[in-house]
Amino acid sequence: MNTVREHPAHSASSDPTEGRLYQVRTYGCQMNVHDSERISGMLDAAGYRRAAQDQTPDLVVFNTCAVRENADNKLYGNLSHLAPVKAERPGMQIAVGGCLAQKDKQAVLDRAPWVDVVFGTHNLGSLPALLERARHNDRAQVEIADALEHFPSTLPARRESTYAGWVSVSVGCNNTCTFCIVPALRGKEIDRRPGDVLAEVQALVEEGVLEVTLLGQNVNAYGMSFSDPDQPRNRGAFADLLRACGQIDGLERVRFTSPHPAEFTDDVIHAMAETANVCPQLHMPLQSGSDRILKAMRRSYRQRKFLGIIEKVRAAMPDAAITTDIIVGFPGETEADFQDTLDVVAQARFSSAFTFQYSPRPGTPAAEMEDQVPPEVVRERYLRLTALQDDICLQENRRRVGRVEELLVTAGDGRKNTETRRRSGRARDGRLVHFAVAETQTMPRPGDVVEVRISAAAPHHLLADDGVLSHRRTRAGDLHEAGTATTTPPIGVGLGLPGIGRPTVEPVDTGCASGSAV
């Protein structure tokens, strides 16, 4: 879908992108965060410069989410705040992309006519050209592709971290969960070639990155939907990919998210246990412990299968940290159904859980279901669930007291670190640790690796107050200290990739282009 809307004329320079400052604001999941890295990489390649915190940007890009509650209210509230800023800055542009843009399409301009560009999840690579066309023709541009045009990896990326990187193994999802709108906005699953995935991992490692997280809506379905017709289907492709990551020199940690319990296989468990740099951490979404509710959600597994996976993982990796997602108050959930969820949580003993109070999402089957649970009931059940999980988290964390943990030092994660001479890091199993640094010790930098002894536990973090036992300075730490951004070039084969770089100015056809949004 291509539409245009006239804007008041504004000034344009002979080289309109040169030196223009941009800011990308991201909402939603890891996929959106990774897409924003690609957006920043494209804008860098097109001649824009990233705005510092104390600078007012000439371009603001919103990369939106349609899954979170009140996502549209948050977006339009922020757009309203920018309207007077834009009115006082001739030439300033605003772009809206991501899942909400894919869903709402033209409605974004109807509610916020001062927006310059609306683009979807399938055509990230079009953004620089759309911005140039909007500027050249003084008209807003809406381009929502009907299907994926290219893998995000075929775009350059400006990474948010010098020490940890996201790598997509696939885009889209073939599941039909009744509460989820993602398949409608991201499309059917398409898998990247293993060689392209590994090439991107290698490129990150060569830039100094120590940790890589493999991303997919359903990573353990990887291998069944290759875009390359010459690549044979392979149910064991994800386990093979994990083992191949184990052969990359300098790659110290490998994580992945998210698998689906219905398709989680023993070969992945074996690959995790037998590959030294694959972290003993697994995110396994439960959603509900009730078989009846799982069926209503169209989650093609049941309580027994889920707990069986947990048992196998713990048999292979006794210290594995297992996290999950849980929805409370799905339509039709009874007290007995909720008790089933509490029972599974008590048995599984998750190291942490992302818990959500169900609320209807327009466009999903669940939003039209009868027997919507009253909000006050959902809230009361949610509080009971989080109280149980917090108690389990605290018990499990207390078992770590006295252990020596290797931490990858992170930026952020601790609001009081400056006051307490602490830093924060992630253990190999993903747990957050705040650790003290003695006055006589050099302060570790984000990206460095330290060893500490755990001295105390809280439900959502561990403490190490006895100083640093060892400290390994890394290239990632050097780059973070220098303020150098990690960048990676386009990698892999595209699916009709538009040119990257400074876009040429194109006249705008006032008619509608072919194709429509999902």
Annotated binding-site ranges: 29, 65, 99, 173, 177, 180
CA distances (Å), origin 437, targets 72, 89, 406, 424, 443? 43, 46, 15, 10, 7
- Which residue reads 């510092």 in tokens? 52
| Inter-helix orientation angle 266-274/237-245, to 10° | 10
Count of C-beta atoms within a 10 Å radius of residue 451: 15
**258 Cβ contact partners less than 8 Å away, ≥ 6 residues apart:** 216, 217, 218, 219, 283, 284, 285, 325
Instruction: Give dist(CA 481, CA 411) in Å, integer.
Output: 11
| Residue length of the chain | 518
Q: Order of strands across the sheet with 211-215?
A: 164-168, 211-215, 253-257
For residue 110, what is the enclosing H or E element? helix 107-111
Which ranges constitute the DSSP H helices of 248-366? Answer: 266-274, 291-297, 303-316, 335-348
Structure tokens belonging to residue 249 = 């020199």
Residues of each annotated binding site for [4Fe-4S] cluster: 29, 65, 99, 173, 177, 180
| Inter-helix orientation angle 335-348/375-398, to 10° | 10
For residue 409, what is the enclosing H or E element? strand 404-409
- Which residue reads 């409608």 in tokens? 184
Using DSSP, state whether 297 is helix, strand or coil.
Answer: helix
C-alpha distance across the termini of the chain, in Å: 10
Which ranges constitute the DSSP H helices of 46-87? Answer: 71-87
Instruction: Give dist(CA 386, CA 345) in Å, integer.
Output: 10
CB 298 within 8 A of CB 175: yes
- Which residue reads 């001062």 in tokens? 114
Instruction: Give dist(CA 277, CA 254) in Å, integer.
Output: 6
Phi-psi region of 479 (alpha: psi -120 to 50; beta: other; left: phi over 0): alpha
Of 131, 137, 130, 115, the C-alpha closest to 9 is: 137
Structure tokens belonging to residue 64 = 């939106």
DSSP bridge partners of 93: 59
Strands (E), 197-291: 211-215, 253-257, 281-283
